[in-house]
């Protein structure tokens, strides 16, 4: 194994560690949300500092890779992909922290009827699973799995599109629970952005493995393997 190979493997280890930390953050917000566990939500806020520190470490290591090894071909695509995925993961960590702060600020347990109407619990679960699956796609270099993310994100988008109407109707019937409803709406918006970050990551995985750029293709085209 060359020195470059060793450094590339170390970089992969670091980004996977970052990924698992962000997944854990999102899972904790899901648990804290369902159980109204404010201490767990505070833990998420505290651990966000570790996410930010890892992002800076990975950015620095990518820059060093460019400067010291001048990678080419698939090695270059890998480092570029890691650099962008790192940014997407940091943003996802920010989203988890934002949701945790909503949990901390909400005075009472969320109304079960509101949770059911908005489908937010299932949305949160799906966002967690999507983030885990893009990690699996990265580790296994599985572009077929990566492509499933584009379709699965539509579930999150659909809930987000319906959210304004559902929340407005709920507030009319429950004017004493406006704060809860608005926190739910803001959380839905954040979970929809988790899906967006996961799609960006899926694009980077496919770029790295297939040397194809999908950003300017339609959703239907992205879902099909490239010739």
Domain 3-219, second-level architecture: Up-down Bundle (1.20)
Q: What is the pLDDT of residue 108?
A: 83
Per residue of the chain (227 residues), give pLDDT as tens. Answer: 798 889 999 999 999 999 999 999 999 999 999 999 999 999 999 999 999 999 999 999 999 999 989 999 889 999 999 999 999 999 999 999 999 999 999 888 889 999 999 999 999 999 999 999 999 999 999 999 999 999 999 999 999 999 999 999 999 999 999 999 999 999 999 999 999 999 999 999 999 998 866 555 665 555 555 44
Length of the chain equals 227
Confidence (pLDDT) at 107 = 83
Query: Model's pTM, two decimal places?
Result: 0.90
Given a contact cutoff of 8 angstroms between Cβ atoms, the answer to whether 118 and 192 are in contact is: no
pLDDT (0 to 100) of residue 45: 97
Q: So what's the pLDDT on residue 168?
A: 96
d(CA 199, CA 137): 12
DSSP 17-77: HHHHHHHHHHHHHHHHHHHT-HHHHHHHHHHHHHHHHHHHHHHHHHHHHHHHH---HHHHH
Query: Which pair of tokens denotes residue 26?
Result: 């999102």
The pLDDT value recorded for residue 227 is: 45
Query: Domain segments of the chain: what residues?
Result: 3-219
d(CA 108, CA 27): 21
pLDDT tens-digit map of 56-102: 999 999 999 999 899 998 899 999 999 999 999 999 999 999 999 99
Question: What's the pLDDT at 218?
Answer: 61
């Amino acid at each position: 194994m060359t020195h470059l190979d060793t450094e590339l493997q170390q970089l992969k280890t670091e980004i996977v560690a970052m990924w698992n930390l962000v997944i854990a953050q999102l899972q904790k917000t899901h648990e804290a949300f369902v159980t109204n566990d404010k201490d767990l939500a505070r833990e998420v806020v505290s651990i966000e500092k570790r996410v930010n520190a890892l992002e800076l470490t990975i950015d620095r290591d990518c820059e060093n890779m460019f400067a010291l090894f001048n990678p080419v071909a698939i090695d270059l695509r890998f480092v570029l992909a890691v650099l962008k995925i790192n940014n997407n993961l940091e943003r996802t960590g920010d989203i988890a922290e934002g949701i945790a702060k909503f949990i901390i600020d909400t005075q009472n347990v969320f109304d079960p009827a509101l949770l059911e109407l908005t489908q937010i619990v299932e949305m949160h679960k799906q966002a967690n699973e999507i983030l885990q699956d893009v990690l699996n796609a990265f580790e296994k270099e599985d572009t077929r799995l990566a492509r499933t993310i584009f379709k699965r994100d539509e579930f999150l988008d659909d809930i987000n599109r319906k959210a304004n109407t559902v929340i407005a109707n709920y507030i009319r019937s429950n004017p004493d629970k406006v704060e809860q409803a608005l926190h739910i709406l803001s959380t839905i918006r954040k979970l929809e952005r988790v899906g967006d970050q996961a799609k960006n990551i899926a694009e980077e995985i496919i770029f790295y493995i297939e040397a194809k750029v999908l950003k300017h293709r339609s959703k239907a085209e992205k879902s099909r393997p490239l010739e």
